Structure 1
Amino acid sequence: MDIIKRLALIISCLTFLSACGTTTASPTAASPTVQATLAASTLVVGANRLPIGLVVDGTPINEPGAKVLLRFFYLDGTDAEKSKVAGESAATYFGQGLPVAVYVTYPNFPRAGAWGVEVEATLPNQAPSISRLRLEVLASDPTPALGSPAIDVETPTAKTNPDLSTLTSDLQPNPALYQQSVDEALKSGKPTAILFATPGFCKTATCGPSVNVISGLQKTYGERMNFIHVEVYQYPFGESAMANPPRLAPAMGAWRLQSEPWLFLVGADGLIQYKYEGGITVEELTPVVEDMLKRS
C-alpha cells in the first residue's frame, strides 16, 4: 500500500498543474538547483516583454552561457488546453552591465487568465533543470499600453532646477537627461525615451545600471532622439522613499506606475512603441532605437 501511495505522489508531482504557482527544479545529482523567477509585475493580453531570472542554490545569477527555453500552457482553458503546449520560445540573455541577468522572450498572449510557463534552463556543462511558474495575464494594461498616446506631463528640468541633486539620486548624472520636460519632448517631433528610475533607492538594484544605459544611448543618438530620466520619488528622495506610504513623483502617478524601473520608447507621433519593466541593456535596446529612428 505504501508503494502505491508513493507512486501516486510521484505522478502527482510530475503533473504540470500541481506545480503551477510554485517554482520547482529537477536537476541531476551533479547539477546545482536552478529555479526560475518572474522579473515582471504586469503581463497583459497581446504583446509582452517577459523577463525571467535564474536563481542557483538561492543566489540570482548572471550567466551568459545559460540556455533558457519557455513553454506556455493556458490553465483557464479546457482539460486539453491545460496540458497542450500553446507556445514555445527561447529566451535571450540580457545581463551585460546588470548585477543579475534576465533572459527575455516576447510572448503574445491571446487570452486573459491563468497561464503556466515551463522554464527549461541549462547551465554550461550541466543537465537541464525544469521550473514551473504561474502567470496572471490581465485583460487590460494598468500601465500605459503599447500603441497608446504617451501621457503628457510636466517633469522637473535643469532649466528651473539647476542643482541636479534635486532632480536625480544618481551621484554622477548626465545633465543631458534633465534638459527637457516630458511634455516638451512629446511636442518636439522626435522619438523619446522616458526612463522612470531611482538609482539611489532602487528596490531591484537595476535602476542605476538602467540610467547608465540611457545615458550611453543619449551620447550616441541624442541629436536625433530625446532621452529623459524621471526620478521615482519626490525630493528629498531619501525621505520620500522611506515615507509610509512612499511619496512618488507626480509623473509616476500620472503614468500609473507602482514599480521601478520602467522605460517607455515613444515614437515621433507620440505613441508608445516599446516598454520595458526592470533592468535594460544596451544590447537589447540598440537595435530597437535604430529601427525607431529609421522609421521616424
Structure 2
Amino acid sequence: MPTRRTFIRSSSAAVVALLAGCSTDPPQDATGSSATPATTAAQPETDDLLAEVAPDRTSELQVINASFETLTGDGRIFAFGLVGADNTPVTGADVEVWTRAEPGEPPTGPVAASFTEIPNQPLGLYVVRLDLPAPGAIPLAALTADGAAGQTALRVADPDNATVPAPGVVAPVVRTPTPDDQLGFERICTLDPPCGMHEDSLDDLIAAGTPVMLTIATPAFCETAICGPTVDVIESVRTGRADEDVAWVHLEVFTDAGLTVADQVTEWNLPSEPWLFGIDGDGMIAGRLDGPLTVLPQEIGALADQLA
C-alpha cells in the first residue's frame, strides 16, 4: 500500500515553507526550513530569458511555482510567489511577466500580474494569465516596478499527455468515504470542524449524472499556506453559493495520521496535493486547479460556474 514516502512530488530550489505544497516527509509548521514548493520547475540554465528582457537587472528574486503541472492553451492561469534574497516574501508589488513559448522564438510579454492575499497568512500570490502554445520547460521572468527580478521555468504539458487527469478525459470513478461508510479512513475529514463535503460518494454522484467539484487535500497533515487552507477556502466558496445542481466532495489524501496514501488518490494518479477537479454531468473532467490556485476563491467559483 502506498505511503507518504511514495506520494512523490518534485521540488524546485528550497524556499520559504509558507509557499510550499504538501511534502513527502512528515508535516512541519509554516516556518520549517526543509519544506519545498510542489513544482517540477527548476531555474532555467540554457535559456536566460531575464538577460534578454532586462539585461540591466540581476536575478535576485526567487520565483516560486507551487503548481505541479500547467497545461498548454490560451489564458492559462499561473500563480507564483516571490521571495527576496533574505528569504522574505515580496508582497503587493507591481509585477510584469515574460515568457518564451519555444526555444529560438522572441520573448512574449510583458503581462501584468495581480496580487492576492492568502487567507490568514502574512504573504500572498501573484496571478497571471499566459498563452502557452507548446509543452515543455517554459522559461518565465518576473520583473517588479522597483527594479527587482527573477526567473523560473514552468512545467507545461499537453492535456492529452498530462500526468494528472486533465480537462476532456473521463474522471476516474472511485468510492469516497461518507459518515455511513468511512472505507477504512480513520477520519474522513481532518478540517476542524469537518467540512460539509462528505454526504455522498463520488461514484454515486457520477452514476447519477451530477456535476461534482472534487477536492483532494488534507488540512491536518499539510499545514503550509498553500495546501493547509485549501479545504477551508473551498468550503467557504461552497457555502456561499446558491446552486444546488453541483455536488461538492472532499477526499482526504491519507487514510491514517499522514502516513498511508489512500487508494483513491493513487487511482487519480496524483503526485502532489492539493487538487480540485470540476467533473461534468457526463463524468468528464471540465477543469482542474492545483497548488496555489486552490486557495483563490474567484478561480474556484469560476470552475464551479462551468458545471452549473
TM-score (norm 2): 0.71
Q: Secondary structure at the match of 2:236?
A: helix
Alignment CA distance shift 1:268-1:93 (3 Å): farther
1:4 is matched with none
Pairs within 5 Å for 1:20-99: 34-46=61-73, 48-59=76-87, 61=89, 63=91, 65-74=92-101, 77-78=103-104, 81=105, 84-97=106-119, 99=121
1:129 maps to which residue? Answer: 148
> What is the distance in 2 between the residues matched to 1:223 and 1:108?
34
Separation in structure 2 between the aligned mates of residue 146 and residue 106 of structure 1, nearest angstrom: 18
Aligned-pair distance for 1:105? 2.3
Contact 2:49-2:139 at 8 Å conserved across structures: no
Does the alignment pair 1:208 with 2:223? no
Q: Aligned partner of 1:224: which letter?
A: D
Residue pair 1:25, 1:130 contacting (<8 A) in 2 also: no
Output the TM-score relative to the length of structure 1.
0.74
Query: Which whole-Å deviations, capped at 9, do the CAs of 1:189-246 have from their partners, x for residues lacking one?
Result: 3321111111111164433311111211222336332111110112x223x1xxxxxx
Question: Highest relative contact order (Cα 8 Å, sep 6+), 1 or 2?
Answer: 2
- State the Cα distance separating 1:282 from its structure 2 match: 1.9
Counterpart Cα distance in 1 of 2:148 and 2:198: 45
Residue type of the partner of 1:89? V
- Consecutive unaligned residues in structure 1, runs of 5 or more: 1-14, 241-246
| Among 150, 156, 166, the residue aligned to 2:177 | 156
**Deviating more after overlay: 185-194 vs 254-263:** 185-194
**Alignment partner of 2:191 out of 170, 175, 178:** 170
Q: Is the 8 A contact 1:158 1:164 kept in 2?
A: no
- Determine the C-alpha separation between the residues in 2 that align with 1:229 and 1:55: 31
1:35-55 deviations in whole A, cap 9, x for unaligned? Answer: 321121213433543211111
- Distance (whole Å) between structure 1 residues aligned to residue 183 and residue 286 of structure 2: 31
| Deviating 4+ runs (over 4 angstroms) | 24-28, 162-165
Task: Give the number of equivalent residue pairs.
Answer: 253
SS in 2 for 1:178: coil
The verdict on how the C-alpha distance between 1:106 and 1:98 changes in structure 2, with shifts beyond 3 A counting, is: farther
Deviation by residue 1:155-177 (Cα, 9 ceiling, x = unmatched): 11112139996212223112x21
Q: CA deviation at 1:248?
A: 1.1
Q: By how many angstroms is 1:62 displaced? A: 7.0
Deviations 1:15-58 (A, max 9, x none): 993467xxx99879xxxx64321121213433543211111344
Quote the residue 1:17 is aligned against. Answer: 47
* Identity across the alignment (%): 27
Give the 3 Å change call, closer, same or farther, for CA 256–19 of structure 1 in structure 2. Answer: same
Moved more, 252-261 or 183-192: 183-192
- The correspondence of residues 230-249 of structure 1 with structure 2, limited to 5 A, is 230-234=251-255, 236-238=256-258, 240=259, 247-249=260-262
Alignment partner, residue 264 of structure 1 = 277
Which residue identity is paired with 2:141?
E
Are 2:121 and 1:112 equivalent residues in the alignment?
Answer: no
| DSSP-derived class of the 1:61 partner | coil
2:126 equivalent in structure 1:
103
Deviations 1:1-28 (A, max 9, x none): xxxxxxxxxxxxxx993467xxx99879
Partner Cα separation in structure 1 for residue 56 and residue 249 of structure 2: 44
CA RMSD between the two structures? 3.1
Normalized per residue, the structure richer in helix is 1
Question: Out of 199, 219, 238, which is 2:239 matched to?
Answer: 219
Native 8 Å contact 1:164 1:173 kept in 2: no
Q: Which amino acid in structure 1 is aligned with residue 153 of structure 2? A: R
Q: Which entry has the higher C-alpha Rg, 1 or 2?
A: 1
